[in-house]
Structure 1
Amino acid sequence: MGEIAERYRRRAEAFERKVAAVRPEQWDNQSPCEKWTARDVVDHVVTMHGVMLTPVARKLEPADNPLTAFQEARAAVEEVLDDPVLALTETDTPTGPLTTEQHVDQVVSDDLVLHGWDLARATGQDETMDPDDVERLWASASAVPADVMEKFRTPGAFGEGIEVYGPEVVVPVEAPLQDRLLGLIGRQP
C-alpha cells in the first residue's frame, strides 16, 4: 500500500468513526459551514468521493443513510487506490493535471480531516485533529498564493455551489496550529 492510500485509509477510518457516532437527532444540527447541517457535511464528502471516481469510470449508487453512503464511497475510493492503473490514471483538475491518487489526496483525503472537524463540532464530538495532518494541511494551505487563495474563497469559482474556503478568521499567531489552520480556511476554532 502506498503512502497516499495509507493516509486516505487512516483519515477515512477516523471520519467513519465520527459518522457512526452521530445520534439520529443530531443529523440536522448546524455545522460550522454556514449553509450545512451535519448531514450536509457527510453528503458533501460522499459527493466529492463520487467526483474523484468519475475520471476512472466509477460511480456511486445512492445509499439510504449517511453511514452506509460514506462506507460505500470509501470502499470505492480504496478500490481505485489499490489498483495501480486506476490510481495512476491522469485527470484534468481545476488546479491542473493530476493522477487519480494525487487528486484523492489533495481533495477528499484532506476533506476528511477538515470536514471531520466540522462534523465533530456539529455533533459534540472530540474536535482534535491528528497533529501530523494539521501540520501537513497547514503547510499546503499556508503556501497557497494570494491570487489562488482569493479564488478558493470565492463562492462558485470551481463550479456552482462549490465553496472551498470561507473568509479568513483572524486567530492569534500564538494559538495552536490547529486553530490557525481552521482560521485560515474560514472556520471559527
Structure 2
Amino acid sequence: MTLSDRPAERHRQVAGLFTDRVRGTRSWDAPAPVAGWTARDVVRHLTDWFPGFLASGAGIDLPRGPSVDEDPVAAWQVHYDGVQALLDDPETEHRKLTNPHIGSLPLDAAIDQFYTADVFMHTWDLSRATGQDDRLDPDFCARLLDGMEQMEEVLRSSGQYGPRVEVPGGADAQTRLIGFIGRDPFWPGT
C-alpha cells in the first residue's frame, strides 16, 4: 500500500496498521527488539510521550484511556482515536506546535513528522515482538531513512536512537531503516 502524503490520511494508514498489530498481540510480556522493552512497552512509549509533546507545544490535551498496564488495547484505541480526531479537525490546519528544539511548525506537519513516523517505526518493534507480519511500506522507509541520514549526528546525540546496526550491502530500505534506528533487523536471530 502506498502511504498518503496528507498527514491525516497517512496517520490513519500507519496507526491503523499499528492498531491491527495491537489487536493481534497475544502476549504483552513478550520481549521487544528495544533492549529492556516488552510488547506492552512499545504501546506505552507511544501513548506516554506524545500527549506531553502536544500539551507543551500546542496546549492540546488528548483523551486518556485506561493505563497500558490495565488494558493496552483500549489504551491504544483511545489514544489513536484522539490523535485521528485532532488531525481530522478542520481547525488543526490553522494551529501551530512550538518546541524549543524544532521551532514552530504547522500542527499537522509536526504530528506527521515526529509522531506518525514514530508509530511507523514502532510497528516493526511490536510486530517482531509478537510474531506478526513486520513488513513496512518500502517507499516510506526510504523517505524516512533519507531524511534521518541527513541529520544523523543530531539524532544520535538526542539519545533517542541507539548506535546504527550494520546491515548487508544491498539490503532493502526497511532493513537499512531498522538498522539505522539501532535495531537488529534480524532480531531475535535465527
Question: How high is the TM-score relative to the length of structure 1?
Answer: 0.85
Give the Å deviation of 1:66.
Answer: 1.1
Counterpart-to-counterpart distance in 2, 1:116 and 1:5: 18
Other-structure match for 1:28: 29
- Partner SS for 1:40: helix
Other-structure match for 2:188: none
Matched, 1:173 2:169: yes
CA-based RMSD of the aligned residues comes to 1.9
Matches within 5 A, 1:107-146: 107-146=114-153
Q: 1:17 aligns with which of 17, 20, 32?
A: 20
Counterpart-to-counterpart distance in 1, 2:182 and 2:172: 16
8 Å CA contact 1:52–1:104 kept in 2: the answer is no
- Partner SS for 1:91: strand
- Partner SS for 1:35: coil
Show structure 1 runs of 4+ deviating over 4 A. Answer: none
Query: Quick one: percent identity of the two aligned structures?
Result: 36
Other-structure match for 1:91: 97
Tell me: CA distance 1:2–1:125, structure 2 relative to 1, closer, same or farther (3 Å): closer
8 Å CA contact 1:56–1:86 kept in 2: the answer is no
Q: Any unmatched runs of 5+ in structure 1? A: 155-163
Q: Any unmatched runs of 5+ in structure 2? A: 186-190
Other-structure match for 1:150: 156
Give the Å deviation of 1:59.
Answer: 3.1
- Partner SS for 1:98: strand
